[in-house]
Amino acid sequence: MADKRVITRVLIANRGEISRRIIRTCTRLGIETVAVYTDVDAHAPHVREATFAEPIGTPESYLSIEKILDAARRSKADSVHPGYGFLSENPDFAAAVRDAGLTWIGPTSETIRKLGSKTAAKELARQANAPTSPTLILPPGSTADRASAIAKFGESVGFPLILKAAAGGGGRGMRFINPESDIALELDSAQRESLKAFGSDEVFVEKCITPARHIEVQIVGDTHGNVVALGTRDCSLQRSNQKIIEEAPAIDLVPGSEAKLFEAATNLARAAGYTSLGTVEFLYGQDGSPYFLEVNTRLQVEHPVTELVTGLDLVELQLRIAAGETLAQCGVTHTPEPQGHAIEARWCAEEFTERFTTATGIVLDIEVPQPTARGTMVRVDRGVEPCSEVSHYYDSLIGKVIVYGPSRERAIEALDDVLSRSRLSGVRNNRSLLLHLLRTEEFKTLRHTVQGTKMLLPSSDQVASVVRDAHIIAAAVRCAMARSEWIAESPWLSAKAPDAIILHPWTTSEHGSSITSSTRRDGNTFVISVGDRQDTIVFTEGPFTSGVSTTATLSPDSGPPTSVSLYRDGHDLWVHTRNGSVVLREPAIGDRVGVRGGHSANEIRSTIPGKVAAVLVKEGDIVEHGATLLVLDSMKMEHPIRASVAGKVSTLSLTVGTIVQSGTLLVAIEPL
């Protein structure tokens, strides 16, 4: 039985939205908070909102146990909350906090160590009678020998396989292996990514259960031996092996499955001596069979959906359990009956073109409105505000938009409503993708799977349609603002003759494509032609201008009235519609149409800032089209850079560790 502890000042060993979220609960409970911040986070919102703030130095210092504990001593904190990511699942950190005489708000270091290795956790799961998938623990040896062992394992149990980091999660270090995969290359990349993210390059292989849903059980244990399952979540909608849309509870399970999931999760937690919050994750086969994946020994990113359907404050539970209270004293004696349905969308600084790429920048403008439907509500957990910087040093998560409704259908409608009217200018982001996924029939009817998300991604035609909509709306708004101060500088419009046909080339900053259109005005009606498409737009309200922002409600001939907003930033115009956001950019004089930045096709330039993680070729090498040339590390994810043409490497001056910015020349290839 643990001693009672008094928690009065909590140091939060984290940043961004989770730091702000922990501060909210602590403030409500009358507990003081200490924020830590690196040089690049000196002006971040969590620093301002905490009771006290302590600098810890360079960007990677959130991973320094010594610097975090030094900040705790300086601030006279009596406890430490790790949030998620960074050091949250590091048993050495948990032990160091305890040895420093501070209260650790989380599972014990022994439990974290026991469950932190996925291979050890799988063995414990077997002992607790939790079903697992076929697994290969890689033997010591060379990359070639280990790759050969993986190939033989695949031939034995069947492909596809999943290569995973033993020490972490979040999709980092994860690679899918098929018979045609270059296993040695994937193995090296997975080990590098795992080492950077978790400090360990240990990886293992398991058979991929497909098709399957990703179902997880939220568990909580006190320091008196009691464990309770708090409910399920469905996190099947993922991209790049990372969750993107999560919901609670998981519904449409085979009868009896939920009880089996709760039993497996709580048995495993008891076997591990689990205290505090944790999540037991499963792959859920189409026949209702669960397969244990891993245990996350921390607060989850998606914890708000559980809070909204149970009425619990999970951070408060963590604090009270760390102080020595029993679950009964916390009012948790059994699995609560979920009320309604909650869905969370991860709003990330990334964009989807042919693949996902991270984005950086300064947040110029951000707004998330309230839902319009009765009986629904929205909660926004975000780490940024206007003027916040999104850098390449940290995770791409900007924030989370969480919506509650009386049913899954109503929650989906409410989240669609909220996201369609939200906006974020200054940093390219995934709002368009979130809206697209929410509207797919597969998601609406619960026919999506972890592996099937890739098939739900928007086609190039669907992406192009959102871009064309933005051009049309921008043209109509510009033409309607005949006396605006924007007119003189507008690359989209010359309104000296309001009824004239106006021709202009436009370039989208996402794709570097040029679109020529014509705009004709007849009173309050605007006819815009883009390629072979023509739209007629009538303004029902506005446009209204306030500084660099413009809002309007317009009625296109292809749909009902819709609200739009535009934000002017130098040569860029951010256009926010109900289908997503697009950045229109004025072409600079001399820019070549169709080529980003006017560079030749054989020059490969970085589209993201980051650090060179691996260089796989040298000058003079002959490469095939699509061959991996080097690997960039950005926002803790690896991004392979591939040859755009077959040819000879003529320019390559980068070395491992080099920091590159967006637009930096990486490789030049002379076509053969």
DSSP reduced 3-state for 610: strand
Strands 562-569 and 572-577: antiparallel
Whether 297 and 89 have beta carbons less than 8 Å apart is answered as yes
Structure confidence at residue 199 (pLDDT): 74
**How large is the average pLDDT for residues 445-451?**
92
Interatomic CA distance for residues 435 and 345, integer angstroms: 10
pLDDT tens track for 10-37: 999 999 999 999 999 999 999 999 999 9
Q: Mark residue 182 as left, alpha or beta (left: phi above 0; alpha: psi -120 to 50; beta: remaining).
A: beta
Q: What is the mean pLDDT of residues 658-668?
A: 81
φ/ψ of 294, rounded to 5, equals -170, 170
Mean per-residue pLDDT for 88-107? 97
What's the whole-number mean pLDDT along residues 623-630?
88
Q: What pLDDT, on the 0 to 100 scale, is given for residue 168?
A: 67
Question: Residue 186 above 60 pLDDT?
Answer: yes
Contact 198, 170 (CB under 8 A): no
Q: Please tell me the distance from the alpha carbon of residue 243 to that of residue 275, in angstroms, as a whole number.
A: 25
Average pLDDT of 371-396? 94
Residue 2 reports pLDDT greater than 80: no
Looking at the predicted structure, is the pLDDT value of residue 502 above 60?
no
For residue 137, list its beta bridge partners: 204
pLDDT of 603 higher than 90: no
The strands making up 397-405's β-sheet, listed across from edge to edge, are 290-296, 276-285, 212-221, 227-239, 242-248, 341-348, 397-405, 377-382
User: Which of 142-146, 430-434, 514-518, 602-606 has the largest mean confidence?
Assistant: 430-434
Res 635: pLDDT: 62
Mean predicted confidence (pLDDT) in 463-485? 76
The answer to whether 603 and 665 have CB atoms below 8 angstroms apart is yes
Is pLDDT of 289 > 70?
yes
Q: Is 576 exposed, middle or buried (0-12, 13-18, 19+ CB in 10 A)?
A: buried
Instruction: For residue 336, name the pLDDT band (cuts at 50, 70, 90).
Output: very high
Window from 137-146, 393-402, 427-436 with minimum mean pLDDT: 137-146
Burial 325-357 (b: 16+ CB within 10 A, else e): bbbeebebeebbebebbbbbbbbbbbbbeeebb
High-pLDDT (> 70) share of the chain, %: 89
Question: Would you state the pLDDT for residue 355?
Answer: 65
- pLDDT for 516 equals 64
Q: Tell me the pLDDT tens digit for each residue of 566-576.
A: 998 877 889 99
User: What integer pLDDT is reported at residue 376 of this predicted model?
Assistant: 97
Would the pLDDT of 627 be above 50? yes
Q: What is the DSSP letter of 132?
A: B
What share of the chain in percent tops pLDDT 90? Answer: 57
Categorize the per-residue pLDDT at 479 as very low, low, confident or very high, splitting at 50, 70 and 90: confident
Dist. CA 484–CA 479, nearest whole Å: 10
- Domains of the chain are 9-105 (3.40.50.20), 134-207 (3.30.1490.20), 212-458 (3.30.470.20), 461-585 (3.30.700), 599-671 (2.40.50.100)
Please tell me which residue, 390 or 355, carries the higher pLDDT value.
Answer: 390
Mean pLDDT for all residues in the chain: 87
Name the more confident of 413 and 142.
Answer: 413
Over residues 140-158, the mean pLDDT reads 91
Check pLDDT > 50 for residue 485: no
Residue of higher predicted confidence among 182 and 595? 182
pLDDT band at 526 (very low <50, low <70, confident <90, very high): confident
Cis status, amide bond into 406, omega within 30 of 0: no
| pLDDT score at 56 | 98
The residues near 389 (Cβ < 8 Å, ≥ 6 apart) are 40, 43, 360, 361, 362, 363
Buried b (16+ CB within 10 A) or exposed e, 118-138: bbebbebbeebebebbebbeb
| CA dist., res. 49 & res. 115, Å (int) | 34
C-alpha torsion angle, residues 53, 57, 63, 69 (rounded to 10): -50
If pLDDT is split at 50, 70 and 90, which confidence band does 558 have? low
Residue 318: phi and psi, rounded to 5, are -60, -45
User: Is pLDDT larger for residue 65 or for residue 351?
Assistant: 65
* Matching residue, tokens 């270090």: 173
- Is pLDDT at 128 greater than 70 in this prediction? yes
For residue 542, pLDDT beyond 50:
yes
Going by the DSSP 8-state scheme, the letter that residue 84 receives in this structure is S
User: Does 630 or 69 have the greater pLDDT score?
Assistant: 69
Please give the Cα distance from 462 to 465 (Å, whole number).
Answer: 5
Kind of pairing, strands 647-651 and 665-671?
antiparallel
Residues with Cβ within 8 Å of residue 299, at least 6 apart in sequence? 18, 83, 84, 88, 277, 314, 315, 318
pLDDT given at position 353: 63
> Is residue 95 packed enough to be buried (19+ CB in 10 Å), middle (13-18) or exposed (0-12)?
middle
Q: Is the pLDDT of residue 475 over 90?
A: no
3-class DSSP assignment, residue 145: helix
